[in-house]
Structure 1
Amino acid sequence: MTETNRICPVLKHPDQYTPDTQDLLINKVARDYWLSTLERTVARFVDRAGALNPDNPKATEHANLCLEQFHSLVEKSRIDPRILNPLSVRTLLDFHEENLRVHFIDAWKLQKETETTQALMTFGHRIKEIDSIADFDKKWLEIVKGLLAGNVFDWGSQLFSEILETSPAFGLDHALQRIESRPWFIDDVDLWIRRLAFARFKSAVVFVDNAGVDFVLGILPFVRELLSMGTRVIVTANSYPSLNDVTFDELNLYCCKAAQQCHILKEAIATGQLLTAANGQKGPCLDLKNIPAELCDLMAESDLIVLEGMGRSVHTNLHTEFLVDCLKTAVIKNDFLAKSLGASSQFSVVFKYEPSST
């Protein structure tokens, strides 16, 4: 932890906090699965590196170097799982992203720009669609479904990669049809809507996941509705590039572009009701022991924390308790993970609302 980073101030049990949902050191079945699965994920990038980085003539060569380093770590971890401490999906992914950044400024930048530009073209239609719903409960249910469907668009998922290879026109409406029908695996949406109807949140911190459809058509309508209810919203994204996750620099750009189509966002940016912040993370998961001081101060003033995506709310922090209300949302895009958590299958939904017990 650097001098400017601190532990999250609204953790209920900061002394007991560990971000990882699964400890791969003690769970051999999970360890064997994730070592093989994540190595295949790293290998898939080799095939795409050149197309994703057309200005880098050595992109494929560099991607192969990263694969070799990851393969070496996997082999060492099979012999001695303590070689990486702690050993978890989070630390394995962080190791790979650190290697990528040696050779690539942002390996997925072109993909993120392309998908976000496309998503912004339908943003206006999406918010008009939501605004046409007069009933409070039905409107919020539609916003939540969009939030979840957006999270399907994750290039870290082999399942999503396979879908895009066969259905390049796959969009939000298609994703809405893919997620499981209610009741979801973890389904607190009725409790969430009742809370919103009862009282407004003062300030919310939203940890976001993927660029493109996920952020533009899933997160932004959710944020916009909170803003319209008078909530101050701090949207926070990774400090460093990781997969197709939104970075802090991209976050500001995307919000400004969306605001050109939405007066609520435009006014919120101008008045400071909508703020952006870097979260200090270098990988797709979330370690709340390592948060920038500025974001910690904003979290200390907030009464709602939102963790979006598998990396931030399933691989890490699924069981983390907070001193304030917390919403954890994700679509599980991995069959092994789904079944290990007790869900029926991939595309199972986590919508976990935990009111403050203080």
Structure 2
Amino acid sequence: MESASEMVAFPLLTTPIESNYRACTIPYRFPSDNPRKATPAEIAWIDLFLNSIPSFKKRAESDPTVPDANIKAEVFAQRYTEILEEFKKDPESHGGPPDCILLCRVREQVLRELGFRDIFKKVKDEENAKAISLFVDVVNLNDAIEDEGKRLENLVRGIFAGNIFDLGSAQLAEVFSRDGMSFLASCQNLVSRPWVIDDLDAFKLQWGRKSWKKAIIFVDNSGADIILGILPFARELLRHGTQVVLAANDLPSINDVTYPELVEIISKLKDEHGQLMGVDTSNLLVANSGNDLPVIDLTRVSQELAYLASDADLVILEGMGRGIETNLYAQFKCDSLKIGMVKHQEVAQFLGGRLYDCVFKYN
């Protein structure tokens, strides 16, 4: 399941022992809770994962790479449902107590044991092709904004709009399969500022004052998210003289972009001179994070990423999984940015915000 080489701690994380680093943001239980009885928070989150099973089963049934996919998809649904129900009866079963990392990991294990490697491959390819066709227009719209602060805000809004394409959210998966999603409409329809966590003005000030030497960006979803959200933002950093490292998943998980997919996307977007709409890409690198989930524990990243990150002075965690459900309170030895859209009601309640609210946390 993991990257072949040994995993290491992300070097820019404040020493994990000193900072009491916990990957998962929302505590499902406290030390005083009965270890043999599921807490209300655990039950709520187990139910959230139970509700996502039909959309995963549907994707698995239509996976052309797996023989008897419809039968195996049914087995996946039954087996994962049983495990989740067992967590409710005994939180310490299956390596528990459960948190968002364990619930994601068990789901991926069940899928992979049945031969399902990438059940979202078809929809990822379709969305990547669609987003690639819109890339030039989106970049031109951003470049036409002369005021640097306004251009930066527009780029940030693009990241939020792209981040809506998330098939791990049962509600969004249903909307997406029914209606599709318009990137530009999503940009215009974001919830109004101030967002639930809104440090954009502070980030704008720093953007004007300092230039970061190297930024590590942990990327999230395929399609509009990476192509119309993150890449225009990364291109703007490149224009400012920042070296940018995009850290993508080793193995497929939901509709998250993987390292090989991201290499291919960037090669399609570059022109014959190796430029991204007139911007030199010699300072744009893609790294394999070693991760195989839609969330991330920063005590376990690839050695390649750890090496590339050692001298970075800006870390960006993008997406609800990596930047909100995990690592929202992670502390770093350098500037950090957590940016993502709130797509689960349970996360909105925890943060005291609205569903589809935005998080822009700058330290």
Report if TM-score (shorter chain) is over 0.5. yes
Match of 1:323 among 321, 333, 346: 333
Report the RMSD for the aligned CA atoms in angstroms.
1.9
Which residue identity is paired with 1:277?
A
1:93 and 2:94 matched: no
Offset at residue 265 of structure 1 (A) = 6.7
**2:71 and 2:139 mapped to 1: Cα distance?**
43
Offset at residue 77 of structure 1 (A) = 0.8
Equivalence for 1:7 = 9
Which residue identity is paired with 1:82?
E
Offset at residue 159 of structure 1 (A) = 2.5
- Structure 1 segment 169-180 matched on structure 2, within 5 A: 170-180=181-191
Equivalence for 1:259 = 270
1:287 and 2:297 matched: yes
Match of 1:149 among 161, 164, 170: 161
Q: What SS does the corresponding residue of 1:314 show, helix, strand or coil?
A: helix
Using the size of structure 1 for normalisation, the TM-score is 0.93
Match of 1:300 among 310, 313, 320: 310
- Structure 1 segment 338-353 matched on structure 2, within 5 A: 338-343=348-353, 345-353=354-362
Using the size of structure 2 for normalisation, the TM-score is 0.91
Match of 1:22 among 8, 26, 31: 26
- Structure 1 segment 97-136 matched on structure 2, within 5 A: 97-102=108-113, 103-136=115-148
**1:249 and 1:207 mapped to 2: Cα distance?**
15
Match of 2:50 among 39, 59, 82: 39
Equivalence for 2:86 = 76
User: How many equivalent residue pairs?
Assistant: 349
**1:130 and 1:165 mapped to 2: Cα distance?**
29
Segment of structure 1 superposing worse, 132-141 or 29-38: 29-38
**2:13 and 2:271 mapped to 1: Cα distance?**
36
Instruction: Give per-residue Cα distances to partners, 1:106-146, cap 9 Å, x unaligned.
Output: 11111111100010001000000100011111100100000
Contact between 1:6 and 1:291, CA under 8 Å: does it hold in 2?
Answer: yes
Q: What SS does the corresponding residue of 1:184 show, helix, strand or coil?
A: coil
Offset at residue 25 of structure 1 (A) = 4.0
Percent identity, please. 34
Contact between 1:238 and 1:282, CA under 8 Å: does it hold in 2?
Answer: yes
Q: What SS does the corresponding residue of 1:6 show, helix, strand or coil?
A: coil
Instruction: Give per-residue Cα distances to partners, 1:256-309, cap 9 Å, x unaligned.
Output: 11223983478644x3x1111111111100110111112111111100000000
Contact between 2:60 and 2:116, CA under 8 Å: does it hold in 1?
Answer: no
- Structure 1 segment 134-213 matched on structure 2, within 5 A: 134-168=146-180, 170-213=181-224
Contact between 1:228 and 1:264, CA under 8 Å: does it hold in 2?
Answer: no
Contact between 1:39 and 1:67, CA under 8 Å: does it hold in 2?
Answer: no
Unaligned runs of 5+ in 1: none
**1:353 and 1:148 mapped to 2: Cα distance?**
15
Q: 1:3 to 1:120 in 2, by over 3 A?
A: closer
Contact between 1:180 and 1:348, CA under 8 Å: does it hold in 2?
Answer: yes
Instruction: Give per-residue Cα distances to partners, 1:7-34, cap 9 Å, x unaligned.
Output: 1111124112120112334482221111
Which residue identity is paired with 2:193?
R
Q: 1:265 to 1:278 in 2, by over 3 A?
A: farther
Offset at residue 253 of structure 1 (A) = 0.4
Q: 1:130 to 1:266 in 2, by over 3 A?
A: closer
Contact between 2:5 and 2:302, CA under 8 Å: does it hold in 1?
Answer: no
Instruction: Give per-residue Cα distances to partners, 1:167-191, cap 9 Å, x unaligned.
Output: 23x2112222332111111111111
Q: What SS does the corresponding residue of 1:94 show, helix, strand or coil?
A: helix
